[in-house]
Structure 1
């Protein structure tokens, strides 16, 4: 499934990006400690940590960043195009911030040891500021996808950017970035060639960066309060998969926060490199679950109220109900010869146009397995009333013939794709019934209200 590729690359990229942002703030803090004479080994830690930061976050982060753009334009070109069209100047500003971050980072690696105290602190401050502002700008664009707010009423770019979930999301991500930096610092500190007491002193300093995790439950509640009601209902029990991932993210974060705050800050315990690495891996799991929740909460949209997950607008759904989903599709199927009838070819094109972004035919989120036990009439009705069958699905963007073609394709695939297919052309009564179901469902999304 294409979405899983984007998800996998995106989770790794987000994790590394937040590590880089928190790392910049952490290094600025340690450099100040060194220059104020409050921690004798702080400078050695800064120079060692920055090498790791650049090697991992810059190199791997750059690779995953390019991979994100590549996979996104393959799967959701219209979504990313809309985001660039609406926020091109703000996105350009984010790219400038990122460029400054990279330039400052590489400059510090190359000449940091040769600079005086003022030069070092200024260069680290530039890096930390640029990296956080990169988060600031990209956060506004991404949070707009779920909570466009007054943008939908013609409020313009800034109304979309400073949307209802902007601030809780930004502060939450900043807290996460600081916690990731603290955990990574504990790993790096354990590799330094110094005795245990000196490493323990550095760990106590680094662990303070995990203290903002105490605010994360309140920030999460704030975020839940401002997202749309139907999205909130899926996270809190309406969709078991979504609720499970909320639990994973919350549980992992609670364990990390409890260990960091109670164990490291309050009890002043020592943490080994192995334990710190395990906590960092747990943090990666929390990040993965959190990103799954953030992406899933937008369904059935990629931009709420503007663009559905199959890259169609609400107005286009209504239009395609009249013309058919494949009326203007000029592209042949790669494997058209395997289908024994024109209706199955039609069904395959409908599947490609409306379902392919999120579903496979077999396997992950496979349509055949999802519908295997449904009767033919049940399948026809459920597809025709798709947004009522599952509230996180978009309305079916086609006519009665499209529904029937898709139904026959799913049945043919379920039966193993035989060379001869028994189905005859649909009778008019069947098409009329499907048309009535389509009319009953309408072309707008069903809003879930409690």
Structure 2
């Protein structure tokens, strides 16, 4: 196999080396005009030819020689400062960008951690406020003045006591006025009935309804007239003005007159039932002398006044109780509002924690990349395509010697060349140069 066929095998352009038989060697001017790259190619080609001549083209020795060639290539590349700077320029720029990114991520991380701290502080403040509000809710009924609430202590207790007293008094008034109104206007007395039985009839309500709709409705509704009058006592007493006092006085007079009418009617029926031929006609003068007359009046009128005063007391205490209750409700609403804010803050904290985790992870990855870039910058970048070019020149020189100088059969010579090519490909695989990626570099830290 001649030199040309061997070079075609590698598919790379090379410059033939000088041999002792070469009749037209390059002149000095030609060498000066030769480029640095071509000179370097020639050097590797000549080194391959020379080393092959020393080992008779042994492919096993070629493997060792290629390792030495690669080490030589590394040292040469290391000495090429400008070329290394140019090769490392993209890595330096990337490192600067990564360092800028680290600074931005660090600032972002600090901001998020400050936000997290503020959110936790805010939650803690809200929780303390909630505890204070709950304490105030419990303490308000006992010490309303402590919280600038114009209400009476123990208003709730007094309210319930007044309400409990109001119920039996109301039932008493219902019973009394149903019975007395029936006795005064509808009942027929007889001599066998006692005074108590004549005034208070246990069956007055049912008897009134049996006698007719009007009678039943009258005795049923008349107690509510007195209860309504008692309610007016409370209403007039709320605003302590002269007009209301006059109205209140007139109200007492009207109620007293109505009770007097009921007592007069009942006492009149009792008098007619027991009078003799010598008895004078019943009139107010006689009525005023009867104990039963005054007993009926005060049994209704006094109790009615008591009911009105108790009702007024209950309403006042309810108003005081409402003041406290309103303050409690305001605080309870504030508690619920703060709880909602705490839940919202917790969701924000979860989101911030997720962002912090992602930022820290990104910082770690970026720092790792910076370290990788620094290793590249500190090391020697080996352009694999360049090495492949010069290694091929070396092998071409090696096999050129085999083709020209080894005196063996053609088939044996081809076998030797094939073994050398296989060794060459193995070396490219080992150093990572046997790839089609033009940007692939091989890093070696020296």
Q: TM-score, normalised by structure 2?
A: 0.23
Q: Which has the larger radius of gyration?
A: 2
Q: Which has the higher helix share?
A: 2
